[in-house]
């Protein structure tokens, strides 16, 4: 199987759940990918190969579904994982960033002392859909004077244009698979 064929198969392991969490949404659920040990290992190896030569200090992951996956990648790379959480989930002093949602506002937080200025980070999330949370995470990281080397996602929904919006804001973006026009 070629690399492109493997990536297509990797994409096929991601379940689509129609009309969840509301009508008209085609939810891309990567839990079906995670339960297949071979394809999960393949995905992690793709990510490892991509990031092993980058001079990363930390992986910073956004609230919380895939913390285990991103922690595993950090361990493979020999670096630490730092969580960004929704408000009131972290126990020590935090710095916060509020952001817009389709239906209101939300807030994410990170421990103020998690990193030091100049640290190089990979920002990660499972899915790039609306992008508001990742943009808020980028703003949070910039406040703390960390350097974002890349924003990484397993899945991109390119019809929503958020990859282009993040790139227009001068962030490098990498995604493993795309669900275009679906």
Q: Please, what's the largest Cα pairwise distance for the chain?
A: 49
* Rounded distance between C-alpha atoms, residue 93 and residue 83, angstroms: 14
Report helix, strand or coil for 26.
strand
Closest CA to 43 of 58, 59, 31: 31
CA 96 to chain centre: 18
* Lookup result for tokens 């019809």: 159
Does the active-site annotation cover 28? no
- Alpha-carbon distance of 46 to 139, in angstroms, equals 27
Mark whether 180 is an active-site residue: no
- The Cα–Cα gap between 109 and 85 comes to 5
Which of 65, 112, 147, 178 is flagged as catalytic? 65
Catalytic residue selected from 93, 102, 180, 182 = 102
Enumerate the active-site residues. Answer: 65, 102
């Amino acid at each position: 199987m070629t690399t492109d064929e493997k990536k297509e198969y990797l994409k096929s392991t991601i379940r689509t759940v129609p009309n969840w969490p509301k009508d008209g949404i085609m939810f891309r659920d990567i839990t079906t990918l995670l339960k297949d040990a071979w394809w999960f290992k393949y995905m992690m190896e793709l990510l490892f190969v991509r990031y092993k030569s980058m001079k990363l200090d930390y992986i910073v992951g956004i609230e919380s579904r895939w913390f285990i996956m991103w922690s595993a990648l950090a361990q493979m790379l020999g670096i630490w994982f730092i969580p960004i959480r929704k408000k009131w989930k972290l126990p020590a002093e935090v710095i916060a960033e509020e952001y817009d949602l389709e239906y209101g506002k939300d807030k994410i937080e990170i421990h103020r002392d998690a990193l030091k200025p100049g640290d190089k980070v990979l920002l990660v999330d499972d899915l790039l859909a609306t992008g508001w949370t990742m943009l808020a995470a980028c703003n949070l990281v910039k406040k703390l004077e960390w350097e974002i080397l890349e924003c990484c996602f397993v899945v991109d929904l390119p019809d929503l244009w958020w990859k282009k919006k993040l790139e227009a804001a001068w962030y490098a973006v990498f995604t493993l698979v795309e669900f275009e026009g679906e």
